[in-house]
Amino acid sequence: MERYVKLKSLLLIPAVMLCLSACTASPENGGDGTDKPAETENAETAAATAAVDFDHELDGYEPARNSYNFYFTYKTVHPWWDAVALGMEDAQRQFLEKGITVTYEYMAPDAASAEDQISRLHMAENAGYDVIGVDVADEDIISPVLDEMAAKGTKIMTFSSSDAAEGCKRIAYVGNTHNYEDGADLTEALCEKLGYKGKVAILVGSKGAPCHEDRARGAADTIAKYENMQIVATEYDMDSIDLAYELTLKILEETPDLDGIICCNMSNPVGAARAITEKNNPAVIVGMDHDQEALHYLKDGVIYCLGVQDCYSIGFDTLQIAVKIADGNKPGELFPEKTNEITTVIYQKDAAMMLELLYGDVL
């Protein structure tokens, strides 16, 4: 028995180390898909699977009612939020299996717009939903609206990529709470790759979108640490791949010796990679999220690394916390005021597994 325990310990130690290394893959710990020796297949699988957790079960909370009706609005129609939707649908199915009917709307405009979001919020405010969830399009504009609604008794929560401004009266936020760190991590990886010298550009998503702005700040602050690194441009693509592509072409024209591009949202790296490929430019791209095209660029080595957010978990947790909020619960033991969903930095070696995992596609 003692021998068995020792053997088990011997096996467990490397297994735990493997998981830890996979879960904490980041520029600081040297995750590298091209220059470093390849990890084992298990490690690659672990890195990819750790990025998105599909295995969820509702916690032990017993809802007070048999039916709920929610309204969620997010920044823009985009595959990133489709992944969030899948997590929400999983939670909805699990509630239904427990005999609790959850209905909801999950709506967004074709292009990010704070004005459109305000109109949707006003419409929803008068429709009697149990909870309204918002992925804040612009924290400066939307946060006051949310405060007004909260003051009238509407139960408001924020979710997915962007929280409201600090001090907003929304009840809770479910989503990425470390956008600044994500921007800093990606930039650190780029700096290391470039040998801590060179000219870089920053592509941001929607102007005012807290998640995008936070990542851009994280990127800028990291660049500022290294005296031989220089930011030559900062541009907003307004969550449009086409615009990201055009902006990258423009930056390359203005700075032909560009060394790297830091992409702060899902559309940025796709547009940047298209332009880089077209111009056969050696600039190193780091970016956010798991767009299928971006993953192919990662697999082909055009993109150096991607920060993948666990959208599925964000969606699942959003619906579960919405039920608790609808029952009148406040942040505390049942749910935190801000969740801490993970972001995993993946490299070329992880790309095929991630494509297989998310899209069933490795070609």
Partner 1 sequence: MKKKKRITQKTFVFTAVIGSVLIMAILAVSTLWSSKMTNSATNEAVSAVSEFYLEAMADRRAKTITNLINNNFDQMEKAMAFIADEDIRTQEDLRLSIGRIKSLLSLDRFAVVDSDNVVYTRYTTYTGGSRHSFLAEEKMDEREISTVLMYGSSKQLCLAAPAQGIKLMGKNIKACFVQIDIKEIVDLLAFDDQGRTYFALYSQNGENLSGTELGPYIADKNLFEAVKGVVPDDEWNLNRDNFSNGSGGSITFTADGAEETLCYVPIAGTDWKMAVLIHESVIHDTIRDISEKSMAVSRNQIIAILVLVLLFAFILIAEFGVLSHYKVEDEMEKSKNLHTMANTDSMTGVRNKHAYSYIETELNEKIKNKEIGNLAVIVCDVNGLKLINDTQGHAAGDKLIKDASKLICEYFPHGAVFRIGGDEFTVILKEKGYDTMNETIPEFNRKVEENIKTGDVVISIGYSALKPEDEQLHDVFERADHMMYKRKKELKEMGAPTRPE
Query: Residues interacting with partner 1, by CB under 8 A?
Result: 52, 54, 77-79, 81-83, 85-86, 88-90, 92, 96, 101-108, 110, 312, 356-363
Nearest distance, CB of residue 106 and partner 1, angstroms: 4
Nearest distance, CB of residue 141 and partner 1, angstroms: 21
Nearest distance, CB of residue 213 and partner 1, angstroms: 23
Nearest distance, CB of residue 89 and partner 1, angstroms: 7
Residue (of 115, 117, 122, 154) closest to 134 by Cα position: 117
Closest to partner 1 by CB, 70 vs 236, is 70
Nearest distance, CB of residue 91 and partner 1, angstroms: 11
Closest to partner 1 by CB, 85 vs 284, is 85
* Distance between CA atoms of residues 47 and 342, nearest Å: 12
Residue keyed to tokens 């939670």: 91
* Distance between CA atoms of residues 42 and 358, nearest Å: 18
Closest to partner 1 by CB, 251 vs 294, is 294
Nearest distance, CB of residue 110 and partner 1, angstroms: 7
Closest to partner 1 by CB, 87 vs 198, is 87
Closest to partner 1 by CB, 11 vs 96, is 96
The burial class, CB within 10 Å (0-12 / 13-18 / 19+), for 21 is middle
* Distance between CA atoms of residues 186 and 287, nearest Å: 7
* Distance between CA atoms of residues 130 and 68, nearest Å: 6
For 84-114, b/e burial (b = at least 16 CB within 10 A) is: bbebbbbbbebbeeeebebebebebbeebbb
Contact present, 124 and 148 (Cβ < 8 Å)? no
Closest to partner 1 by CB, 167 vs 360, is 360
Q: Give pairs for 16-20: CB < 8 Å, separation 24+.
A: 18/42, 18/43, 18/46, 19/46, 19/50
